[in-house]
Each structure stands twice: as structure tokens, then as C-alpha cells.
Structure 1
């Protein structure tokens, strides 16, 4: 009697096939993809369409780096790239193709502080300084470059407005308070908080483009942008803020610097204040950054785990609240991708087709990773000494 093999058995079978010297690379990759019901040159939206005869060899030899770069070079296509990636990651097929680039990425992270002050500015120059008009075309009117909150809406604009208001309510902002925004981007949170909650804001960014454009957008408001790494801010501890927030920046801190980050926050928040941390994360620590993301999108980024965050902050903070809405990043990224594709004709002469395929792979592969629940999104509320009478989440 025929029975389908379990996922563990199929994985073992695939590993044995990988060791068979007689099997071609194309057949090996076809066998692996069959585990997640993906066909090579099939007719479904999530099937892989091969254009170059060495695609399989490149992917099997270089893993995620080969997958992403061969897509950038036009060697293969997939109408629903997000679903293709989600299927691969949900079944952990990526873990079956261990390669040198992944091993080297993990070794670099162990041996070096990839997020030191000198290296930290690279991500601003490489990514965030691509062009304010480019990001304005892709993002919502707030210029919010982090996960939206889709609980009660189906539009990007409303989801980002809801997220900003959620943060302000969790922080308990009141008129006259001072808010420090670490990694403030173009100032979406500060502008929203100043206009709707009457607070004074100071934001730190390592992107010159963000600081200049954000200052123009917030002209006339009690909002200040400072082009400064968080480690260089408030070393004396003389500046205190009733509220501190960091939204979508902690992913660039790195585990070797987590404790220093929280020490800086503790110096900057008042004893009766509140700190909100909004970050992408992974379930397990010490997982190397994806080599393709590191090379082409976010140099030296490193996603934290909750245990790493807890270990680093426990000396200075009490954890008041944790909320997970990582599934909301899937529709956020799909919305960005739709707006990016609509706006692309205006940017094609500046960036070229290879950049277009790179950016499409970035947005849709990330959407697939959140759909597969490989990546997470957390909002944590922390206080130095505990909120009197207990913290109540403002939803």
C-alpha cells in the first residue's frame, strides 16, 4: 500500500539525492522543488521558469546568493515570486543547500563587530540614500518604512497611520513631552506625534538624505533631526526624555552591540519614562544574515531573537508588553511592491533593469519570508522601574 513520505523522510531522500554523483543539477533541484509542489517550467503562478541552462548549478552551488543573483541577471522568473519563496522557506529547503557564503557570513559575524561605528554608516549610504523621490513613490504619504498595522484596514495608507497612532498610544504621549526617536528615518513618527499629540521630538539617523528631507517635511514643527550614530549620542547622560522609541532600526545594531544600545536608551529615558522597540526578528539567535540581503540590500544587518533582546535589556529595564504582528509585514511588502512597479517607468533610466529585478526580489522574497513565518515583527514596551500600578496596552 502506497503512503506519502513524511516531510522528514522527504528531506532525507533529498539529501541522499544531493549526494548522488550521477544526478544532474537540474534533476536535483527539480527533486527538491517537488517537495513543495513547485515545478520547473510549469504553468502555475508559483512555478519556476528557467531561461539559462546553468541556473540550477549556480543556485545549488551558492544557495540564496545564487538564487537572488541569478534572478537579478534574468536567468529565471516566477510570476508569484513571493509564493515561490514562501513555499521554499516554510519547508526549510534553503537549509538543505548549505554553501560557503552562508558559512562565511556566520564566521564574519562571530569574529568581527560588523555593526561598529565605522561600518554603521554604510547602510545609510548604500540603502537609505538611494533617493527620497524613489522611496516617496514606494511608501505611503507618511514615508513610513516599517511594517504597517492591518488589523482594521486593507490600505497601506490606513495601515501605516494606524501603526503610528498605535505607537503613540502605547507610549502614552501627552502634550509637552519630549520624544527621542532612534533611527527616525524621514521623521514619520515624529511628525505624526508632534501634529497629533503635541510632543517635542529629536530624531537620530545615519542617512544624510533622510535628515535633509525630513527636516523640510517637518518645518514649523517642534522636531529636530540629528545626523548621528546612537553610540555618539548623550554619552554624558545629561539629556533625558519622557519617551523613547526605535522603529525598524534595531535590525542594524547587531548582537555584539545590543547591550550598549540599551545602555544608551537607559541613559536617555527618564526614570519614570517608557521605551518602545519595534523590530523584525528571528525565532532563534545566531542565524547568519542571508548573504544576498547582506550584499545587495542591508549591509551588516542582523535580526535579533527575543531571547537576545531580553538578555541585553534585563539589567536596565522591565518588560511591560510584547506584541507580535509579523504577519502584517506580508501585505505591507506587497503594497510597496505594487507601488514600486507602478512608479518604475519614472526610475528606469536612473537605476536600470538589474536594479529593478533586485528590488523586486527583495520586496517579494521578504513578503514570502513573513508569510512562511520565518521572520517575525515585535513591538516591546519597556520601562526603567515599572509603570506605577502596571502598564495597560493601549489598543
Structure 2
């Protein structure tokens, strides 16, 4: 365990008066300064008032500052979500992020590269230490896997089989990341691959690692695409598209798919349209927005045909916990470069997301969409 985590958890809890938050947390069997892994250890009493006033943002920022600690953040957040403690803090604050996402195009072409610069360009060495050997930054498929590498390779092969890839086909990967899918598809299925990304670090990595394969990666916005492909995949990128651009994404996909073409859309999803958690948007994924199934269906209407919808959301909990284990184990290599505040931010991000998938607040979907097919696409799980 990293020294920063040890220091924080071993810091003495403060003497304090009872706060009404004690009673709220008790509904989730959480005690302030208790001795169980999910009990919060409070180091600054004023943090409770800040959490009440600012809710999700207050909880995340007070943790980043070191105002409180929990040995198992994932268990702590899971209990909060499972008991729906947020109902005690509903306020007018929730309406403004929703109105903002409805009125403004937070994912316009002008903003398209912000998430790449803020999140994905942290450094390839950092992500290599946290992810699997192929640097696959999306949910693994744990049906028969025992390790992170096995789960990610199983996911890549599942995608290739769903797309019915054959030698000589041309595959487009919208939001290709560090090239795990296009690298795997080119190696194992002998297809020509094109990827697009908004991260310079990712583009440079793919160009170097897969220099001997028929792979081309462009640093560009997906809306600029206009060439034909047999198949299209988008894995973990649709979360950056935003409600104002869902239809445009489907129009681009239809424009670029050949007759009988297939699109596989791999995305995090939630039950109803709602703005992104404000802490996550500010510190992790600027301008991100998790789609609802209704939004995806409406965006594809009269453009593409839905052939299949596969949900394996619980697998993201396992994936995130594996990333967290790697992050903790390798953190000493990066402590001087990124610092204690980043450590606490990143740890909170990974475990917050794991808890959200564990309680089924978020899902992981693979949508199969086709263009002008007279036959159905075989369902593969």
C-alpha cells in the first residue's frame, strides 16, 4: 500500500460532537470514526458541513484535501448508493448541471480535444502501469477470465467475433485509445484498421507499437470522418459524445459504413438521462456525459437497425478493482511526479466508479447496429 494512503488512514480521528450526518450514515451502516473498512475516519469536522452543502463535489474535494479517509472507499460509496442516502440532500443545485447539458453543446468540435489533453495525455508510462499489457482502457469481459489481461483479450476477441471480421476487411475504431482493438484485429483477423483519437500521446504510442501492421491513426474529431468501412467499432468513446451530438455520431457511422456494414458501440450507460457527476466532470472527464438507452435508440432511429444489446456492467466493477490494484502497487514510481493530491483524486475516481457499477447505477453495454442488412446479425456473447 502506498505511503500516502498509510499516513492518511493511520492519522488519528478527531474528537467531535455528534452531527446529523451520523444519523444519515447509520442508515447505510456507516459509522464516523468506526473500526470497519467502510467506516469514515474524520480528520476535520468542518468537512461534514461542506459535504452537506456541496454533496458529490464536497465529498470528493474534502477527500482530495485529506479531511477524511476510508480504508475501503469502494465499500463506503457502495453503501451510500445502495441505501440511496442522496435523497436526504436533494436541492436546487441539481437542476443547473442538467439545464447546462441541455442548452449547451459541451462536446462541440472546439471542445473535442479538451478531454484528451486533460485525461488521456497524462503519460503513457502511467497508464501502462495501471492497465493490461495492451493498454485497454475500457471494461474487460470476465466470463471465463481470471486475470486482467485475459479479460481484456476476451473482450477484444468478443468484439471481433461480433463484427464478423474477415481478412481483407477495413475496420474503423472511433476513439481508438492506445490501439488495443485495432492492434488485435490486425494481428488476429488480418484486417486493415483506421483509428481516430483526440490524444496526441495515444496516437504516438500506436504509431510506434504497431508500426509493422496495416494500421493508420488520425488525430481528429470523429465528425470529420468521411470514407467507407466494412465495420466500425467505438469502445469507451461514446461517453464523450454528449446528448447534443448523439445523432451526429450515428449519422457519421451511417455515412462511413458500407452496405451490410456493422457498428459495435461499447459504452457505459445509465437508466435515464442525467448530467455527469460534477466531481467526475471537473477532475476526471471534462464535458463527459453517460448516455441513457433511450438516447441511443433515438439517435439511431431511421439511420441504423439495432441487432443486439448486451449488458455486462458487473464486469466493470472487476475491471476497475484490477486497475486500482495495479495503481496502488505501482504508485511509488509516480509519487514524486504527480503528488499526493493526484494520488487521492485518482484512487477516489477508480473506487467511486467501481462502487457505481457494483450497485448497478451504471451499466456497460455493447450495441450491435447495422446498415441496410437483409439478414440479422448473429448474437454472440
Q: Which runs of 5+ in 2 are unaligned?
A: 1-15
Would you say the 8 A contact 1:102–1:290 is kept in 2? no
Would you say the 8 A contact 1:322–1:381 is kept in 2? yes
- 1:318 CA displacement: 0.8
**Please, which of 8, 28, 32 is the counterpart of residue 36 of structure 1?**
28
- 1:385 CA displacement: 2.0
| Structure 1 residues 387 and 167, CA gap change in structure 2 (3 angstroms) | farther
Kindly indicate whether residue 294 of structure 2 is the aligned counterpart of residue 307 of structure 1.
yes
Q: Give, in whole Å, the separation in 2 of the partners of 1:178 and 1:97.
A: 51
**Please, which of 76, 88, 93 is the counterpart of residue 96 of structure 1?**
88
Kindly indicate whether residue 341 of structure 2 is the aligned counterpart of residue 391 of structure 1.
no
- 1:255 CA displacement: 0.6
Matches within 5 A, 1:375-386: 375-386=362-373
- 1:97 CA displacement: 1.6
Residue in 2 that maps onto 1:373: 360
| Structure 1 residues 351 and 163, CA gap change in structure 2 (3 angstroms) | same
Kindly indicate whether residue 247 of structure 2 is the aligned counterpart of residue 255 of structure 1.
no
Deviations 1:333-381 (A, max 9, x none): 0000000011111101110000000000000000000001001110011
Deviations 1:195-235 (A, max 9, x none): 0000000000000110011111111100000000011221x
Residue in 1 that maps onto 2:4: none
Q: Give, in whole Å, the separation in 2 of the partners of 1:159 and 1:62.
A: 37
Q: Give, in whole Å, the separation in 1 of the partners of 2:177 and 2:52.
A: 37
Would you say the 8 A contact 2:259–2:373 is kept in 1? no
Residue in 2 that maps onto 1:165: 157
> How big is the alpha-carbon RMSD for the aligned residues of Structure 1 and Structure 2?
1.3
Q: Give, in whole Å, the separation in 1 of the partners of 2:88 and 2:157.
A: 42
Deviations 1:288-307 (A, max 9, x none): 11000000000010010111
Residue in 1 that maps onto 2:328: 341
**Please, which of 234, 238, 242 is the counterpart of residue 246 of structure 1?**
234
| Structure 1 residues 351 and 26, CA gap change in structure 2 (3 angstroms) | farther
Residue in 2 that maps onto 1:153: 145
Q: Give, in whole Å, the separation in 2 of the partners of 1:142 and 1:325.
A: 21
Deviations 1:225-272 (A, max 9, x none): 0000011221xxxx2111000000000000111001100000001111
- 1:53 CA displacement: 1.4
Q: Give, in whole Å, the separation in 2 of the partners of 1:180 and 1:325.
A: 23
Q: What TM-score does the superposition give when structure 2 sets the normalisation length?
A: 0.94
| Structure 1 residues 354 and 99, CA gap change in structure 2 (3 angstroms) | farther
- 1:96 CA displacement: 2.6
Q: Give, in whole Å, the separation in 2 of the partners of 1:99 and 1:360.
A: 28
Q: Which piece of structure 1 moves more, 97-106 or 241-250?
A: 97-106
Would you say the 8 A contact 1:90–1:373 is kept in 2? no
Kindly indicate whether residue 97 of structure 2 is the aligned counterpart of residue 105 of structure 1.
yes
Residue in 1 that maps onto 2:112: 120
Residue in 2 that maps onto 1:332: 319
Would you say the 8 A contact 1:102–1:291 is kept in 2? no
Matches within 5 A, 1:128-207: 128-207=120-199
| Aligned residues between the structures | 366
Q: What TM-score does the superposition give when structure 1 sets the normalisation length?
A: 0.91
Instruction: Give the secondary-structure state (helix, strand or coil) at the position aligned to 1:352.
Output: helix
Q: Give, in whole Å, the separation in 1 of the partners of 2:299 and 2:202.
A: 29
Residue in 2 that maps onto 1:83: 75
**Please, which of 223, 235, 256 is the counterpart of residue 231 of structure 1?**
223
Matches within 5 A, 1:69-80: 69-80=61-72
Q: Which runs of 5+ in 1 are unaligned?
A: 1-23
Would you say the 8 A contact 1:65–1:101 is kept in 2? no
